Chain A
Amino acid sequence: MIKISQLRKSYNGRCVLNIEDFVFEPGGKYALIGANGSGKSTLLKILAGTLAADSGSIDCPSGLRERLGYMPQKPYIYDFSVLKNILIAFTHSQSDSAAALRALRRVGMEDFAAARGSRLSGGESQRVAFARMLVEPHPLLLLDEPTSAMDLNASDQVEQELLDYCSEQTTTLIFATHSLAQAQRVADTLLLMDHGLLAEYGSAAELIHHPQTQEARDFLRNWKVD
């Protein structure tokens, strides 16, 4: 269980995150949705430990922080081979080329194993970065718009692998997305962020079809979701 309380973050006096309380249950799959600048990435960065909150607390089981996996919005692929980019992610277990190649196969990138990381397109980089997440068992996975640069086929493949991984590892998943359809397919709880606040949360059916707050209704006005 990860419990966040009174979490606040400001940049130059502008509040970008202000969450009173929320509990992420173990094994749950949570999608952060909301407009640009609503605080989704900031929340993920604070949870990942790459950004410090101004105040508030995050209570989580000991050792979770050391073993979480985090994929930023613009994942960096190092300028060595794609295979080596995967091998460096074995931080808790012995590097294993066969396992690295299997991870690449899971995202359709096995043919790129020898290619240089710096030569990949945005979508390919995201797939490699995602494969890097798959080689270690992470109790918590934080993904910031993991498929934003991918084509539909690659995005579907990654979504499927993500669901498989989470059920295999009983991983808690928190991801940001601009695709409500993706949020519906992958997550069991949606959190709507608005101007740094957690405006509303609930299952996809509740939040999308029966929004309770004005912020949620405003956000969903332009979306057509089945």
Chain B
Amino acid sequence: MEVLQETINLLFGSNPELRQIIGVTLQMSVTSTLISVGIGIPLGTLIGMYQFRGKGVLMRIINTLMGLPPVVAGLLVFFLLSRSGPLGEYKLLYSVTAMVIAQVLLITPIATGLTASMISQRYPLLRETALGIGLPRRKQLLYTLYECRSSLFSVLFTGFGRAISEVGAAQIVGGNVQYKTRTMTTAIVLETNKGNFDMAIALGIVLLVIAFVIMCLGQYLKDKSERP
């Protein structure tokens, strides 16, 4: 009952810290998803469409990176951005930018691998027809992406799902700094560590509600794209 009350208060109350946490969570998740799919979808499309030497090895590497543990990605970015690291001079550690970088490292292989696998399956049939009617390469690419649009939306959703639910990397490179880099997931970990379980569960429910609303919006756009 207390959890429910806490959840309602969080959802409909005017807690400035919660609003700030939600803002950081969305900023980090949306930015990292857009950057990741911006890199992963074109790269995956090229890998899926063309046959080249080393493609099998490349796919195995990408598939391995799809399962990259978030703490490993976080650690890698931490070393890169720490004061003595190669990018230390930019003073990005414990910022939302650092969290976005870590998440891009995690999500880009997922977007690339899923896109490559989906294009590899569909492209041979599409290519045969396209070559048969003499479509130029640019149109072949355009129509291939159009035909795969539904699956590409799924890539976007998968990336966003990973971004919004991720905690390990965000914690390491963001530092869970109040009013700066605290996200929903790192806040949940903090409240759990404090033994404040009601608050942790309430934050978890709020996170799910936000994810649900965004996924509904995405699904609406996906359905709209499939209508004539």
Contact = CB atoms under 8 A, between A and B. Distances in A.
Interface of A: 45, 48-50, 66-67, 69-72, 74-76, 78-81, 88-89, 91-92, 116, 129, 132-133, 136, 142
A78 B125 CA distance: 11
The dominant DSSP class at the B interface is helix
B131 A76 contact: no
B129 A75 contact: yes
A81 B147 contact: no
Contacts of A79: 146-147, 226
Contact of B133 (A49, A81, A132): A132
Contact of B132 (A66, A71, A80, A92): A71
Interface of B: 125-129, 131-136, 139, 143, 146-147, 226, 228
Given A50-B127, A76-B125, A78-B147, A69 B132 contact: yes
Contact of A69 (B125, B126, B133, B147): B133
Contacts of B136: 91
Nearest to A119: B228
A92 B125 contact: no
Given A48-B131, A81-B228, A88-B143, 19 more contacts: A49-B131, A69-B132, A69-B134, A70-B128, A70-B132, A72-B132, A75-B129, A75-B132, A76-B126, A76-B128, A78-B143, A78-B146, A80-B228, A88-B133, A88-B139, A91-B136, A92-B134, A136-B134, A142-B132
A74 B125 CA distance: 8
A61 to B, nearest CB: 16
B135 A72 contact: no
A72 B133 contact: no
B133 A50 contact: no
Contact of B131 (A67, A70, A136): A70
Contacts of A75: 129, 132
Contacts of B143: 78, 88
A116 B133 CA distance: 19
Contacts of B126: 76
B225 to A, nearest CB: 10
Q: Which 10 A-B pairs have the closest CB atoms?
A: A70-B132, A76-B129, A91-B134, A72-B128, A89-B133, A50-B128, A50-B131, A76-B125, A116-B228, A76-B126
A75 B127 CA distance: 10
A88 B127 CA distance: 14
Determine which residue in A50, A69, A76, A91 has the highest number of CB atoms from chain B within 10 A of its CB, and name it.
Answer: A76
A49 B133 CA distance: 12
A117 B226 CA distance: 12
B151 to A, nearest CB: 12
Nearest to B125: A76
A45 B122 CA distance: 18
Contacts of B134: 66-67, 69, 89, 91-92, 136
22 contacts: A45-B128, A49-B131, A50-B127, A50-B132, A66-B134, A69-B133, A70-B128, A70-B131, A70-B133, A72-B125, A72-B132, A75-B129, A76-B129, A78-B146, A88-B135, A88-B139, A91-B133, A91-B135, A91-B136, A129-B129, A133-B133, A142-B132
Contacts of B228: 80-81, 116
A113 B177 CA distance: 60
A193 B124 CA distance: 25
A66 B134 CA distance: 7
Determine which residue in B129, B135, B146, B226 has the highest number of CB atoms from chain A within 10 A of its CB, and name it.
Answer: B129
Nearest to A115: B228
Contacts of A78: 143, 146-147
Contacts of A72: 125, 128-129, 132
A48 B147 CA distance: 23
B209 to A, nearest CB: 34
Nearest to A72: B128
Given A76-B126, A81-B228, A48 B132 contact: yes
Contacts of B127: 50
Contacts of B131: 48-50, 70
Contacts of B132: 48, 50, 69-72, 75, 142
Determine which residue in B127, B146, B147, B226 has the highest number of CB atoms from chain A within 10 A of its CB, and name it.
Answer: B147
